[in-house]
Amino acid sequence: MREPGFIKRSPRVATQFKASVTDSDGGKVPVVITDLSREGCRLETDGSLNIGEQIEIDAGRYGTYPAQVRWALGNEAGAVFLAPIGSLDEPDTTA
C-alpha cells in the first residue's frame, strides 16, 4: 500500500562525480553529483540554483543532459532529467 506523500522513484546510486551546470542565463556552476537515478540527481554546489530553473548538466565524457531544478536547500539541489538518462543515448532500433 502506498503511503500519503510517498513518491515512487527509481533506484538511486550514491556517487561523487564532478560535473558542471549551465544555468538559464548561460552561467556555468561547478557541481558534484552525489546521487543519481534514471530520472534525476542530487547536486552539491557553492553556487546557487533556482527551483524551476531549466539547466544543462555537463557530465564531461558522459554527455550533457537537460534537467529542471525541483528543490534547492543550502548548497544542495535536486534535479529531474527532462528525459530519462537511458533514453538520451539509446540507439534507435526501429529501423
**The predicted structure's pLDDT at residue 86:** 66
Query: What number is the average pLDDT over the span 42-65?
Result: 93
Which H or E run includes 15?
A: strand 13-22
| Residue whose C-alpha cell reads 537511458 in the numeric block | 86
- Looking at the domain that runs over 13-85, which CATH code has it been given? 2.40.10.220
pLDDT of residue 4: 67
Residue-wise pLDDT tens digits, 27-51: 999 999 999 998 999 999 998 899 9
Threshold 0.75, pTM exceeds:
yes
Of the pLDDT bands very low, low, confident and very high (cuts 50, 70, 90), residue 19 is very high
pLDDT for 47 equals 83
Give the start-to-end residue ranges of the domains of the chain.
Answer: 13-85
Q: How confident is the model at residue 94 (pLDDT cuts 50, 70, 90)?
A: very low
**Where does the chain show beta strands of DSSP type E?**
13-22, 28-36, 40-45, 54-58, 64-73, 76-81
Mean pLDDT over the full length of the chain: 84
pLDDT at residue 11 in the model: 76
Residue pair 40/80 in contact by the 8 Å Cβ criterion: yes
